Amino acid sequence: MVRQENAVAFDCGVQTASLTNVGMRRSVNQDSYVLIVADTAELWQQRGHFLMVADGMGAHAAGELASKMAVENTPYLYNKYLDLSPPEALERAIRESNTQIHSRGSANTDFHGMGTTASALVLLPQGALCAHVGDSRIYRLRGSQLNQLSFDHSLQWELRASGQLSEGSELAAAVPKNVITRSLGPNANVQIDLEGPHPIEVGDVFLLCSDGLTGRVEDHELGTIMGCLPPHEAVKVLVDLANLRGGPDNITVLIAKIIKPDAATATNQAPPLVLGGKKDLKPVNPIIWIVAGVCALAALLLPLKGLYIFAGVSVLAAVITVIVGLVKLFSGYSKGTQLSGNRRLGKGPYTATPCGPTPAFFAKIQQTAAELKQVALDGNYNVDWAEYDELQRKALAAQQANPVDAVRQLCKSITFLMNELRTQHNRKASDSEIKL
């Protein structure tokens, strides 16, 4: 299930791309996503760009419904609560989405216990803000390092964080990776993790994805492909790799690349994000202002009759009354806690993985391309081998002088061949159905 809005926006310096796929072993896609790029400067300043991935769980189309509700309700509610700061509005939006999903699941026996992961990224002038529940991930590639900005709410990660599970132990190998500890929907209340805002730099590449991708493609591969290919090519290659390695689950990929200073934190003079700030002035009983006015008038008239002591008392009473009124007026106003400098939410990034177009990476992808070619030959597919061979030739020619372009050409050859096989496979399946 997919939802995408405003893929093309005003020139704010961000490139985006998205792709979802049912995978090789599922008949239904229970993933959903939303990608909303601010189409005005005002919206960019107020609410930024919104990206979200949800991976549904539950039979009888329950998971599909849960993820769809998450990506439809959350951005709507986030943009509705303009009186709240972005992090407060985002948390409230996800919390209310959980309530709606839980209510829908409780009202229908077919949907009991339905749930979904939810990972949202908001790119703001103040930085990148993350909110997540479950194990759909948010990454940031900066230079040659890939950071995971979200924490997996899975049994493995929770045990490791509590010190009960050591890396590489027998217990770690025995604990399933896909058992999640939090999701939207099953329970009336949910704990939501907020991270950031993380400063944004030109060249940063952000990735949101479901575990159908990360279960088959390693972090260093994610970062290398994101760094070597533009977003619209990278999403295709990542999905193809996951499918080539079995594709046991639905796969959803969203990428946003910062290409101009307009979207970088350092060049934006936006005020810091605030938590707990209140700007509403409380109403004051009119009697207080009437008393203050009467006392002030008395302070002016009493000296005319020589009653200076009483005039002084009236002045003091007027001042005290005004102070009381102002205190009541501004009692609902507070500056709150500013998220600026080194002060931010969460404990991320949680991982740091070096990546880049190394010879070992090139060799691994080259092997994948060779195996895919053999599949095409064995299956007697009618492939335009001239185009495939030309992409391979360019990849090999650039391997030493331009490793980035070499990886790009090699990945394009895989995507080209996958498209050829996919198209002809679907055509053959369609022809079979007609004959029957």
pLDDT surpassing 80 at residue 124: yes
Averaged pLDDT, 354-380: 95
Nearest to 4 by CA among 40, 49, 62: 49
How high is the pLDDT of residue 434? 29
pLDDT surpassing 70 at residue 277: no
Rounded Cα gap, residues 47 and 41, in angstroms: 10
211 pLDDT band (50/70/90 cuts)? very high
Q: Which of 182-191, 291-300, 307-316, 422-431 has the lowest mean pLDDT?
A: 422-431
283 pLDDT band (50/70/90 cuts)? confident
How high is the pLDDT of residue 172? 61
Contact 305, 351 (CB under 8 A): no
Residue at 291: amino acid letter: V
Q: Where are the beta strands (DSSP E) in 281-350?
A: 333-334, 337-339
Strand partners, 16: 256
How high is the pLDDT of residue 430? 46
Q: Is 142 helix (H, G, I), strand (E, B) or coil?
A: strand
Mean pLDDT rounded to a whole number for the chain: 89
How high is the pLDDT of residue 431? 45
Contact 18, 33 (CB under 8 A): yes
How high is the pLDDT of residue 426? 66
309 pLDDT band (50/70/90 cuts)? confident
Averaged pLDDT, 328-357: 83
pLDDT surpassing 60 at residue 428: no
pLDDT surpassing 80 at residue 287: yes
What angle, 0 to 180 degrees and rounded to 10, lies between the N-to-C axes of helices 359-378 and 385-398? 170
Averaged pLDDT, 334-356: 88
Burial of 338 (0-12, 13-18, 19+ CB in 10 A): middle
Averaged pLDDT, 409-413: 97
How high is the pLDDT of residue 201? 97
> Nearest 5 degrees, angle CA 271-CA 276-CA 280?
85
Nearest to 295 by CA among 278, 311, 273: 311
73 pLDDT band (50/70/90 cuts)? very high
Rounded Cα gap, residues 116 and 61, in angstroms: 12
Averaged pLDDT, 299-318: 76
Report the predicted TM-score, pTM, of the whole model to 2 decimal places: 0.86
Q: Which of 76-80, 105-109, 203-207 has the lowest mean pLDDT?
A: 105-109
